[in-house]
Amino acid sequence: MEQSTDPLVFLVISSTVANISFMGSVVYEYLAQQGAAGVLVEGWRGGKVDTLNAKDQLVTIFANMAEDQACRQESKRAGGISLLVTLLQTQVTEGDSQKSPDQTEFEEKVCEQIQQKSAIALARLAKDVTCAVEIAVCDGIPIFARLCKTSSYRNKSVPVLIACLAALRRLHHALGPSSFQEEDIEKLIRPKMIDSIFACSSMSEESFV
């Protein structure tokens, strides 16, 4: 993967790695030893992750690796947190008149998957306080809050909303209230999860302004 300069080859290899990353602790240990997070970040920076599918494979690997403490620290060292915060904001490119409705719908679903997996990865990374601090430094907290409160940013996806709320609550537990706006604590963190989900799903975006 590291030596590949072709985005298609990088996609095929990362898809394979994404599949085996579901196999658990033995695989996590191997990926950490091989510096997989660093290779993925370099691939991203080198322009090899140039499609929604490639981004989806990337966040799948990071989300699975984040189950392991050694992988979490390796992901942080490699710059994976900044990458995940960026991918958390993935949106469908608008203005392409040549797209069919089916293609647009497909891209919206993949974007939702990327957002959801990015949120899951960051929530798992936040188990380590040093990673939680890095997420805050990368402005992850206001981005999570915006995704919760502004449904258009997540294509009105409830799974993305749930993942973002869970991540915010994990970050609040790790960092304390000083890293959050009081309004977000009152609406997104302090209530029961189901109440926050209902509020964010049913209220108009203007209600949060």
H/E run at residue 174:
helix 158-175
96-113 per-residue burial string, b: 16 or more CB within 10 A, e: under 16: eeeeeeeeeeebbebbbb
Length of the chain, in residues: 209
Please give the model's pTM, rounded to 2 decimal places: 0.90
Asked if the 7-203 domain carries CATH number 3.40.50.720, the reply is no
Question: 207 pLDDT band (50/70/90 cuts)?
Answer: very low
pLDDT in tens, 161-193: 999 999 999 999 999 999 999 999 999 999 999
Residues 184 and 23: their CA atoms lie apart, in Å, by 37
pLDDT in tens, 117-139: 999 999 999 999 999 999 999 99
Question: 208 pLDDT band (50/70/90 cuts)?
Answer: very low
pLDDT in tens, 25-83: 889 888 888 899 999 999 999 999 989 999 999 999 999 999 999 999 999 999 999 99
Count of beta carbons in the 10 Å neighbourhood of residue 150: 13
Which tokens in the block code for residue 58? 């990337």
